[in-house]
Amino acid sequence: MSGQGLPLPVFTPGRTAAPAEPEPLDFDGLKKRLDGERGAGYWRSLEELAKTPEFAAALREIDNGRNLEEGFDRRDLLKFMGVSFALAGLTACTRQPAEKIVPYVRQPEQVIPGGKPLYFATAMTVSGFATGLLVESQLGRPTKAEGNPMHPASLGATDLFGQASLYDLYDPDRSQTLQYLDEIRPWAAFLGAARKAAGEERATGGAGLRFLTESVCSPTLASQLASLLRDFPGARWIEWEPAGRDNVREGARLAFGEYADVVADLAKADVIFSIGSDFLSCGPGNLAMTRHFSRRRRPEGEHGPMNRLYVVETASTVTGANADHRLPVPASRVEDVVRGIAKALGVAGSGANGSVASSPNPFEAAVAADLKAHAGRCVVLVGPEQAPAVHALGHAMNQTLGNFGKTVRAIEPVDARPSNQLTGLVELTRDMAAGKVSTLVILGGNPVFTAPADLEFSAGLAKVKHRIHLSPHVDETSAACQWHIPQAHFLEAWSDARCFDGTASIVQPLIATLYQGRSAHEVLAALQGAPEASGYEIVRAFWRGELGTDFETRWTRALHDGVIEGTAFPDKPVRMAESPGGSGPSGVAPGGASASSPPAGDPASPELELVFRPDPKLLDGRFANNGWLQELPDPITRLTWDNAALFSIETAKRLGIRKEDVVELKLRGRSLKAAAWIEPGLPDGTVVLNLGHGRTRGGRLGTGTGSNAYALRCSDALWSARGLEVRNTGVSHPLASAQLHQNMEGREIVRAASLEEYQKNPAFVHEKEKEPEPSLSLYPQYPSDTYAWAMAIDLSACVGCNACVLACQSENNIPVVGKDQVRRGREMHWLRIDHYYGGAPANPTHFFEPVPCMHCEKAPCELVCPVGATVHSAEGLNDMVYNRCVGTRYCSNNCPYKVRRFNFYHYSTQFRAPSMRMLANPDVTVRWRGVMEKCTYCVQRINGAKIDSELADRRVKDGEITTACAQACPAEAIVFGDLADKNSRVAKLRENPRNYGLLSELGTRPRTTYLGSVRNLNPALSREVQTDFPHTELDTETGQK
């Protein structure tokens, strides 16, 4: 308390009269005074009447002469208080500065704040080849990638990389500033340095100038480079793609005598023979191939009779997993096997090597017979890992079978400048080592990490005077260069690209560069002395020349459609080049110019062979810092966050290796430590190691996961090498597998049959079914007078490519939890793809099964939630009320499908990073710690469509709502819709005899149902689809705490 001197007012109820002694009234005097009064007189007391001095004093006090010290009455107290408070309030009054705000008077065209997102067509390139995308933009920020139905390489579908591209855009580890020797520099500083370097180079005609790019399918970039090469005649342009297509190009040159791309149309193919080609998961045109392949996988035959896929491969791929018949072959023997088949087909000059011809394999005979029987309606595909000779054989087989012009066609190469990239890189390193290179401009790519180990690329690089590197991250190569330029993401910068059939697209940005990113076009323009040229102008200038008349209309149309009309390459007439001897097509003969044929070894000794392959998720390592891709389970091994040295069961047994043992791989004096994993179906004696892991400067997520396979990769053995030595170090390295059991344990989970069995009994899925009668439930049916949402997943069509998993993750703000949490069994994917083995462990059959929430009509989870946080909607959705969830996890325990996911920690804090915050879909709640979550059938999309339909006073039409998973699916395996509409696609699929409910014998009545898997088996090889799998070393309880 302050102001001690101030007397505090004392509140006293009622009037306080002077406490003076009351004097006795003088009645006589009173009478006298009253005598003189006339008229009406009113008085309240005798004192008043008498007008005594006491009374007068009292009156005076009431009216005027207040005495504060005598206390306050109630009213005064309130008055004083009121005034005091009012005055006190005055002190808070400061003058507000005048700041004019601008109301949203002029709304940007089409933007509805907080309402509808916009979609823009653009294209993403992976290894140069474009895939068309439609990217969702929520108030100016890209939030979701979808496929562009008008783009021939997408057809509306997306793959992993398209979905994951959003994560890359907002990756907090992206390089944000231009750097010179790790110090931040302005763009002008680089321009100065570039001008100086260019000046130096111009003096020698560019003899010391080198450009190193990734594969370029961008016409604009190619023309820029061509123009630079004209300016600097001595300069060279080298392309290097670590998981590249050199073999494809060289194979075509062997076969046709010139470079050409061969494009297959699987829609017309009855029999497909893939030689190590993983066309269902990556590579140019993979989405279109998957679409056409899986349309023909349905035994009902809407799009033609069911096709049959034969695969010869070394490492297990998604394509191999979908094969009707797969033959695992060591890499060194693939050519022999193919040669055997080619010979059986009558390909001239395919005479087999001595070691093969002795015993014709039943597989080879069957493939050859089947191909022959379907001449002109079959296709032979060869993977980029196969030697050029195998490619040449593939072309020769297609030629012999008369497939050219029917199921395959040759076109001009889509690569802007087809070349042998390896030769180019070898020359570059030789020149660098010899000190002939004075300026090296690396546009994208990470050659320090990816160049073959024997080239000693970094040693050579150190001798280059000016080293400039454009890349999205400060990576291994940036660290070895002086200048690092942050590369703009494709959603931030203008560009263009061609897809597998030559169709060009404009790469349209959706957002201004988040940081100081530059595109390759802008960097090249700066080197050419046009430092202020924007990517937009450069790309437009190029296409103004290409599109000719009516440019603006055609340009706008190209931006809108995402494809430039009429840019697909026409068929290119090719002719098999005759070999000098005239005995057949050149390159086909044994011992032909197969550059990477393995060194001869003793076939009797069990020599080990190391096989490299691009990682199904990280490819060559470019996606190493992408959390979505890192945490995505490998389609076959189900490993996350790591690569592993993969051994077959027999090989592991022989070498005494168990899962998670750290093995030392020794190859030609180089050694690498890697964790081991066992994978049935690999050829014995083969060790498979995925590229792209083990980054040393890969960002916070990419650094230190897995082992760097490039450390063992030599330029003469890019894809496989013999003479591998394996030593078990006795140490173990924990690996995080998202699925520890890939054995159905004889349960009716994936129900499968051969086409023959299906034709005998189309309802084969119900053979062993024990589904209880609906009347057995005590609970009443849910009302059926509204929508009844349901999903049907065709296991015959599903190829297991994982695109749906990432689409779900992107749509529903699903957090990434990290390796440790995955290992503890806490991954958050709402939709998972289960993978099971069947048959013999040496060469198993693979089954994929996407498992979202089943939205059971009688859901076990709803019964046990104590707070009603998971409830059933009238439309049949099993809804999660995040706000209400207290986290007992009882619902998850009671879920027979285990599709519920729990926020054990506050995983969603990752959406708090400033850039990651922009990644989140504003239509979906970000979940808190301690809350259960699961698939909602994309309820935000359902409600969006319902609002639209209610505005138009109609029901939601079939196909109007697509869940994220169904939209991404290239195989069209997932169909979502309204069961109440008898004509909807999902209602019809439910009527399909192949339709069954997973674990429906429990009485859960799932709304998500499956269509049984049918394999088109060749009766000559086997007649039955095996779903049983023996217990093997695979089942050891590792991989989880």
Is residue 501 helix, strand or coil? coil
30 class by beta-carbon count within 10 Å (0-12 exposed, 13-18 middle, 19+ buried): middle
**Binder to another protein among 416, 931, 968, 1025 (CB under 8 A)?**
931
| Residue 740 interacts with another protein (CB under 8 A): yes or no | yes
- Report the nearest approach of another protein to the CB of residue 824 (Å): 5
Contact between 896 and another protein by CB under 8 A: the answer reads: yes
Spatial separation of the C-alpha atoms in residues 422 and 899, rounded to whole Å: 46
Residue closer to another protein by CB (options 860, 922) is 860
Residue type, 642: D
Mark 798-837 with x for binding to another protein (rule: CB under 8 A) and - for no binding: -----------------------x--xxx-----x-xxx-
Q: Which of 177, 905, 960, 1021 binds another protein (CB under 8 A)?
A: 905
Binding mask 691-730 for another protein (x = CB under 8 A): ----------------------------------------
- Interface characters, 194-223, with another protein (x: CB under 8 A): ------------------------------
Distances (CA, A) of 135 to 259, 535, 803: 34, 20, 16
Instruction: By CB under 8 A, tell whether 79 contacts another protein.
Output: no
Q: How far apart are CA 195 and CA 814, in angstroms?
A: 47
Among 295, 928, 955, 985, which residue interacts with another protein (rule: CB under 8 A)? 928
Is 49 buried (19+), middle (13-18) or exposed (0-12) by CB count in 10 A? middle
Which strands sit side by side in the sheet containing 129-138, from one edge to the other? 118-126, 129-138, 141-147
**Is 587 or 635 the residue whose CB approaches another protein more closely?**
635
Q: Could you tell me the smallest distance in angstroms from the CB atom of residue 1038 to another protein?
A: 9
What is the rounded radius of gyration, in angstroms, for the C-alpha atoms of the chain? 38
Structure tokens at 426: 């070898």
Q: Is residue 190 near another protein by the rule CB under 8 A?
A: no
Helices (H) and strands (E) in the chain, counts: 33, 38
For the bound state, the minimum distance from the C-beta of residue 196 to another protein, rounded and expressed in Å, comes to 55
Q: Does 894 bind another protein (CB under 8 A)?
A: yes
Q: Is 780 in the site for another protein (CB under 8 A)?
A: no
Q: Tell me the three state secondary structure of residue 483.
A: strand
- 132, containing H or E segment: strand 129-138
d(CA 484, CA 487): 9
Q: Map residues 968-1007 to x or -, x wherever contact with another protein holds by CB under 8 A.
A: ------------------------------xx--x-----
Stretch that binds another protein, among 339-347, 428-436, 579-587, 898-906 (CB under 8 A): 898-906
Q: How far is the CB of 802 from another protein (least distance, A)?
A: 15
Among 122, 597, 708, 743, binds another protein (CB under 8 A): 743
- 954 DSSP assignment: S
Q: Does 901 bind another protein (CB under 8 A)?
A: yes
Q: Which of 434, 530, 867, 947 binds another protein (CB under 8 A)?
A: 867
Whole-angstrom Cα distance, residue 49 to residue 321? 118
Relative orientation angle of helices 219-231 and 520-527, to the nearest 10 degrees:
20
Q: Do 218 and 123 touch, CB atoms closer than 8 A?
A: no
Minimum CB separation of residue 1034 from another protein in Å reads 12
Contact status: 866 vs another protein (CB under 8 A): yes
In 189-246, DSSP assigns E strands to 209-213, 236-239
Using CB under 8 A, which of 150, 367, 468, 885 touches another protein? 885
Which residues are CB-contacts of 108 (< 8 A; sequence separation ≥ 6)? none
Contact between 406 and another protein by CB under 8 A: the answer reads: no
Backbone angles phi, psi at 180, to 5 degrees: -120, 115
Part of the chain binding another protein (CB under 8 A), chosen from 32-40, 412-420, 491-499, 880-888: 880-888
Q: How far is the CB of 896 from another protein (least distance, A)?
A: 4
CB of 639 to another protein, least distance (A): 15
Mask for 615-654, x = binds another protein (CB under 8 A): ----------------------------------------
- Can you read off the two tokens belonging to residue 796? 């015959």
Taking a C-beta distance cutoff of 8 angstroms, is the pair 680, 1026 a contact? no
Residues 52-71 that bind another protein (CB under 8 A): none
Q: d(Cα 950, Cα 947) in Å, to the nearest integer?
A: 5
Comparing CB distances to another protein, the nearer of 749 and 980 is: 749
Using the minimum distance from each CB to another protein, give the nearer residue, 709 or 744.
Answer: 744
If you ran DSSP here, which 8-state letter would residue 927 be given?
Answer: P
Phi, psi at 123, each rounded to 5°? -145, 145
Residue 577 in the binding site for another protein (CB under 8 A)? no
Comparison of 378 and 736: residue with beta carbon closer to another protein: 736
Cβ nearer to another protein, comparing 655 with 749:
749
Q: Least distance (Å) from another protein to the CB of residue 946?
A: 24
CA terminus-to-terminus distance, the chain: 63
The residue among 253 and 829 lying less far from another protein, judged by its C-beta, is 829
Work out which of 188, 512, 863, 874 binds another protein, going by CB under 8 A. 863
The contacts found for 665-669 with CB under 8 angstroms, 24 or more apart, are 665/610, 665/689, 665/712, 665/724, 665/725, 665/726, 666/724, 666/725, 666/726, 666/727, 667/610, 667/712, 667/714, 667/721, 667/723, 667/724, 667/725, 668/714, 668/721, 668/723
**Residue 10 touches another protein, criterion: CB under 8 A:** no
Among the candidate windows 238-246, 517-525, 667-675, 930-938, which touches another protein by CB under 8 A? 930-938
Residues 806 and 809: their CA atoms lie apart, in Å, by: 5
CA nearest neighbour of 259 among 269, 267, 249, 246 = 249
Please tell me the count of residues contacting another protein according to CB under 8 A: 58
901 or 990, CB closer to another protein? 901
CB 938, min distance to another protein, A: 21
From 44-52, 206-214, 705-713, 893-901, span contacting another protein (CB under 8 A): 893-901
Question: What's phi and psi for 435, nearest 5 deg?
Answer: 75, 20
Q: Which of 406, 654, 666, 741 binds another protein (CB under 8 A)?
A: 741
Q: Which of 111, 191, 749, 913 binds another protein (CB under 8 A)?
A: 749
| 732: amino acid identity, one letter | S
Closest contact distance (angstroms) between CB of 632 and another protein is 16
Q: Is 610 in the site for another protein (CB under 8 A)?
A: no
CB of 1040 to another protein, least distance (A): 5
Give the Cα separation of 200 and 492 in Å (integer). Answer: 32
Tell me how far, at minimum, the Cβ of 898 lies from another protein, in Å: 4
Q: Binding residue for another protein (CB under 8 A) from 884, 957, 1023, 1031?
A: 884
Q: Is 149 left (phi over 0), alpha (psi -120 to 50) or beta?
A: alpha
Tokens of 373: 């029987």
The yes or no reply on residue 766 touching another protein (CB under 8 A) is: no
Report the amino acid identity of residue 18.
A
Distance (Å, rounded) from C-alpha 499 to C-alpha 519? Answer: 19
Alpha-carbon span 329 to 313, nearest angstrom: 6
Q: Name which position in 930, 946, 949, 1024 contacts another protein (CB under 8 A).
A: 930
CA distance 616 to 635: 8
Contact footprint for another protein (CB under 8 A) = 739-747, 749, 821, 824-826, 832, 834-836, 849, 851, 860, 863-868, 884-890, 892-894, 896-898, 900-906, 928-932, 998-999, 1002, 1037, 1040-1041
